[in-house]
Each structure stands twice: as C-alpha cells, then as structure tokens.
Chains A and B, each alone.
Chain A
C-alpha cells in the first residue's frame, strides 16, 4: 500500500505544549515513537510545525440520515415535536441516493475536521421503512473501505414502539438487525407508551445480542423520567451495553434524586451522551424566567463515575440550523454551557466518547493506533479556543485530509 516504511509527524507539540515528533509504522498504522524520533531514509515526513497533535475525535451521537437536509433554509423549529413532524412528512420524498449523498458529505467534512469514529442514529419507521438504514449501512461500509471513518449505525425506531400500536415498528426494528445495523435505538421519551417502548427496545437488543442506545428524557420537565426504567431494565436484562442519550430532565430533578440516579447508573454501567448545541437550542429556552440550559447533570453524573460523552447531534438539518461538523465546536460550547475546562470538554469528545461507544482507546503514545488530528495551536487549550481549520487528520497512520489556512491582514495598509 505505502511505499515508505514510516510516517513521521515533524515539528508539532503534544496537548501540554511539549515538542514531540511522532513516528508511525506505515504497515500497521501503529505509533512507534513519540518525542525525539530519529529520522531514517524511507520516512515520509508530515510537517506539523505550529500544530498540536491529538488523538482524533469521536462523535458519540449524530443523525446522518437527517444531516444537511435544510442547508438552503435555516430551519427554526420551536419544539422537538414540530421538527419530528416536519421530518416525517419529508420521508416519502427522500431517495436512497439522497441519504447516501448527504451522509457521505457529512462524514467527509467530519473526517476533515478530525472526527474518525461516529455513532449515528438512523430512523426506522413505517414512513421510511428500512431505506435510511440500508443507505447508512452502505455509507458505513463505503467509508470504512475508503479508510476515512468508523461508523456505528443505531436503528432509531420511530414511535410508537410500545404496546399493540408498536407492533409494526418492532417488526421493522427486527428487520433492521438483519439489514446489518450495529446498535438498537429508539425514542421512548416521545412514545405514547414510554415504559412499553423502553421494554420493546430492550427485548430486541437482548435477542439480537446488540448494544442499546436510547434517546432519553428530552425535556426539562422533571415528570418525564424514563431513565429509571432504563436503569431497572439494564440491571434485569442481559444487554451487551446500554447508553442513555440526552437525559435532559435529570438536571431538573431535586439534587438528591440526581445523586441517587447517578449512583445507580454508575453501578449499572450505563453510559451517557450529552449534546450541548441542540440541548441549548431545544430544551428550556422558552421558559421566560431563568430559562434552564437543557443539558443533563454532567457534573453529578461524573462525580459518581458515569462516563459522559459529547456529540454534535443534528447539523444543518430540519432539526437544527447550525453546526460546523467540528469536534472543537462541541467541546467549546460544552465547556461554556457546563463550565468545565477545555481539556475536560475535549476528553468528552475523545477518550470518554470512545468508552461510551465501546471502542478501543487511542492516545498519542507508542502502541496506539495512529488516529490523530494535528491542529494549529501552541497547546490543547489554544486549539480548543481557536478551533483553527488548519488541520491534518490521520486514520490508522494514513493522512486522510489536510486543510491549509493562510493569510490574514494585508500588508502595507495605510490610510
């Protein structure tokens, strides 16, 4: 494949600003040296001067079937329900080719900005059948073959999933398993039968021997609290791994309930994903006095040892008009919205996201797979703050994207 023996990233610094070259075995894609790397003939040098070299990012919660569906008109839905209705009405007119095209473009943009593993939720419902799931399974296999990203496809069963009314969607979810999806998903929080929908999702996950990732409690209303059902079923059932996404209403529970719940989640090994951009946008903003932020209780969850990962969620689609496809955007908005350090927020987009997704760890250390992002900056803090587009991205030791940013103030401007 490669004519050279090693790829060496030259002139960059590590997260803390320490100078380090990084050698990567071109055959295995594994890091073989960090620090003072002795240069050899046959090395391919990649200039990383002025750049910080980090482990590449992971997006723990995307919607690649919806992504870029509203690029020409910024959608401004007031409520999640409004967006869901708008989206479901569009289903019949979306072709497989359109699903593939938008998802592929999004993965390429994400990869170019340093995200090399993505968990995407993909709708399964009577209105769309398995069309979107089949498209995303195809995109997953295609981008894997091209070597640019690892995708996990979650079959997001549309409501209703519980009770008698949920039978068609339960059958579709079973068919999605046969179509090659990786993870079982659903939205019990918007299901007419919340407990029934949660049980149905656990049933399918248990039978299919697949992990589960459920949209959970997307409301600041403390009365919506399906997380308790998820905890109970995780303990009772034999499901490979369970992730509760969003968990917005946890932040509206009394403090003691937050702590009790977090403790139970840690014991049950449930992972959590938080999506700061869309949470701010959707949940709590319409409360006129002291509007709550709409994020989950991140601090309490982490205090009890729950792994919390961050994701970008919807990007430039019918649900959300913004998003740069940039893990550094997720990290900086997360840090602003939850008052944490740039390093802590970045960890939630990398190390913690890998744990939640069940991926092997990646680090800038000898022996790790070289899934790396080099970005302009003198250390991690500056990289997260400035989020320069000037980046080089590697996956399994191979450079998959380079973005060069040049210019600035014109010289000699005098009035």
Chain B
C-alpha cells in the first residue's frame, strides 16, 4: 500500500509559502510546490496533476517554517544531565574533569542509558536527528560508557528517532608506558561499538606526541578521528597545525578538530597559515559557543576574550566549521536547552554571525563536518524535516518556539504544541505567536 503525507500551509526559510508531499513508503520528498501568487505558473502546473492520489495524512503547517533537521556534531551523552538540578559551576575544565572522574565511577550502566535516552529524546523533539557523541574511555570507566551509549544508539535507530555516532574519548595519559592501558582501551572501545577515535591531547604531557598517537590509532583502524583540540586561550598551546598535517599525511578521512580555542589567540598571520593547513587536510572544525564562553577566557580581568575559535579566519580559508551544544546540564555546564536554535542564536551573538549562517553551521555544515550527505528540501531528498513556528528562518531562530513538528525519513517522530492564552480582559493584538 502506498501512503503519502502532505505538509500544507508552511513556508520555506525565506518565507515562501510551500506545500510538500512525502512518500511515506520511501521516506522521500515527492513534490515541492511553491505558492507565490494566486495564478502562479507553478501552482497551476501543480494543479494539473493534483488529485493523482489523495494523501493519507494532511499536516497543517500554518505559521510554521519548514527546514531540514539539525545536526549535533559534538555532544557528551555519557555525561549529559548528570547534574540535573544541581547547577555545577566549575571554574576550570580541569576542576570539572576531576569532579566528573570521581562521580563517573559510581554511575551505573542503566543510569547512563537512562540519561542519554532522555537527552536524545529532548534533542529529537527539538529537531536534531543526527548526533555525534564523545564518550569517555578511561581507567576509571573502561569501555562501560561506550557500551551504554552504543545501546542507546541501537535503540534510537530501532525506534527510528536518530542517527548517533560514537567517538571514543580516550583519557590522558596516552603516551609511553603510562598510556599503554588507555591505548589498549581505545582499541577495545573501537571493538565495542565506538565508531571514531577521540581524545584530549592538549591535556597530555606532550600534546603534539599525544595527537600523533591518536592519529596513528585511527589510521591503523581505518576509522575517522575527532579530537578535542587546544581547549585554552593560551596561545602557547598549538596542536591544530600538527593535527592537520597528520590527517593529510596519513590520509585520514572524516577528521574533525573540536574547539580549537587557542587558534583565536594567535597572531592573525599565524591564524591564516594554520587555517590554510587545516583546509588543505579537509580537517573540519566544530565550535561550541555556549561552553566556550563559559570556560575559556572569562577569568581574564582586562578584556576577557570570548573563548571561541577563529571562525572567520577558518571559513575564509575554506574550512568547514560546524557548531554544537557540547555539555548540557552536567558536571561541566549548568545550562543547555537541547535546542539547535539555542546553539545558533548564541553562536550568532558570540561570533557576530548572521543568524541564517549560524543555522547553516548547525545543519548543512554539521552534515559536511560529519561526512554526511547534504540535505535539501527538494524532490527525491530524504524527508528529514523540522517545522517550527515563525514567518521565516530569521524569526524562527530569534523566537526558537517550542512549537515544532519533526519528521525523520518521512515519518512524524515528534510533535510539540505551544498554546498561549492571555486572560480575557487583555486579548493580545498579536496572533502570530499563538495557536488556538
């Protein structure tokens, strides 16, 4: 039996009224009709073959913008929600790591699965359907957390909600005899369900050597790599350039450098030289504006720097830069709405980026950074769609209404209704942000 879903009454990012037909058997977009003016040529053309079959379901998308779903390129699903309600306020990344390492030893498999599942459901409900999560691999937790998140990944795939990939975040030390156990655990993690090699070389005794070790393990296993890179405003820490050259030399595909904070404190000439190497290696960069503001540079008394990477310089050099939310309500960070529009808005403010461009960094560039095929709203494309209240993309990002519908592979997987009422004596004039 063939089925189809009709999304009626919505607009595209630029505000163009559009009707979309989805083949629910294939999950592909079957037809996209733009309704510009009454009597518009395309509308008439659409009318001619309308009625070929009745849609099985019609979804009223009035007052909503239709977008492709978002991508979260950098989450920590093993840590997420671990401090729900407690509001951890660590002053340094090192302090948070210490606290988390102590806490993580007491966390059960079930607890990790429960928190990660809850987080992924929240992310999906807000429109994120592809998630890359870093997951700790260390002496303290072994590969336990990787196994738990692999279970969540499989369950989410089974439920048709989200596509999750796991980066084995190998703890320092990774070098010499002291690091032997972590090197073994990293290989074990790859055998236990992790997809990609990760690590924090800048916290190792020799950050350059630790970067090399991680890259060698990725090359040897034939998998991608995503390293926490240079998470400090101290310009003396600089592994990014070395990482880029390794990726090129070893021919690693699917390589990401996450954070790259100290790039922004290099001289502009040096930023450009490094960015050129990063671009040449097709090394993508992820930036996490919320946690970067929170962690890096705030404690400098005079002109505290923002703690984000040098986004403009990287983009000018042709590097794909994607944005993510990072830690959410855990031992590392007390905030986060699980909302790609939050990432986009804070990124736009913190880096003075056009909101539409910031949104692209949470969607198309997220896909590109993760080596995923591009997604568009066109005939033949997979219907991974996010509908959100607003008259256009600009208003959708600014208002970030929770009123949303999320489709994955042509199927509605989440729906949130926001119903607003003022008391009868003061009826608001604005109807746009309301439903009845």
Hey, which bits of chain A sit against chain B, CB under 8 A? 17, 71-74, 76, 78, 101, 104-105, 108-109, 112, 146-148, 220, 251-255, 258, 277-278, 280-282, 284-286, 288-293, 297, 300, 315-316, 321-324, 332-333, 335-343, 378-379, 381-382, 384-389, 398-410, 413-415
Contact = CB atoms under 8 A, between A and B. Distances in A.
A381 B84 CA distance: 8
B349 A333 contact: yes
A31 B268 CA distance: 58
B264 A404 contact: no
B349 A277 contact: yes
Contacts of A333: 346, 349
Nearest to B328: A385
A146 B425 contact: yes
A322 B399 CA distance: 8
Given A324-B398, A333-B349, A409 B414 contact: yes
B394 A405 contact: no
Interface stretch (B52-60, B249-257, B426-434): B426-434
11 contacts: A72-B392, A74-B354, A285-B352, A291-B305, A321-B348, A336-B294, A336-B346, A378-B85, A398-B423, A402-B420, A414-B158
B159 A413 contact: yes
Contact of A408 (B121, B293, B350, B391): B121
Contacts of B345: 322
A405 B430 contact: no
B304 interface: yes
A202 B218 CA distance: 67
Contacts of B422: 108, 112, 148, 400-401
Interface residues of B, number: 83
B402 A342 contact: no
Contacts of B160: 413-415
Contact of A406 (B233, B417, B425, B428): B417
Contacts of B265: 289-290
Interface in B260-317: 264-268, 271, 290, 293-294, 297-299, 301-306, 310, 312-313
Given A401-B422, A403-B419, A410-B415, A258 B352 contact: no
A375 to B, nearest CB: 13
Contact of B423 (A101, A399, A408): A399
Contact of A104 (B297, B328, B429): B429
Contacts of A322: 345, 348-349, 355, 397-398
Given A71-B391, A321-B355, A408-B125, A292 B301 contact: no
Nearest to A297: B301
Contacts of A146: 425-426
Given A292-B304, A415-B160, A342 B425 contact: no
A291 B84 contact: no
A399 B413 CA distance: 34
Given A74-B355, A251-B303, A400-B426, A407 B395 contact: no
Contacts of B125: 407-409
A99 B15 CA distance: 24
B86 interface: yes
A332 B349 CA distance: 13
Contacts of B86: 381
Contacts of B304: 251, 292-293
A252 B301 contact: no
B85 A17 contact: yes
Contacts of B268: 288-289
A385 B336 contact: yes
Nearest to A106: B430
B334 A341 contact: yes
A297 B301 CA distance: 8
A403 B428 CA distance: 13
Nearest to B428: A108
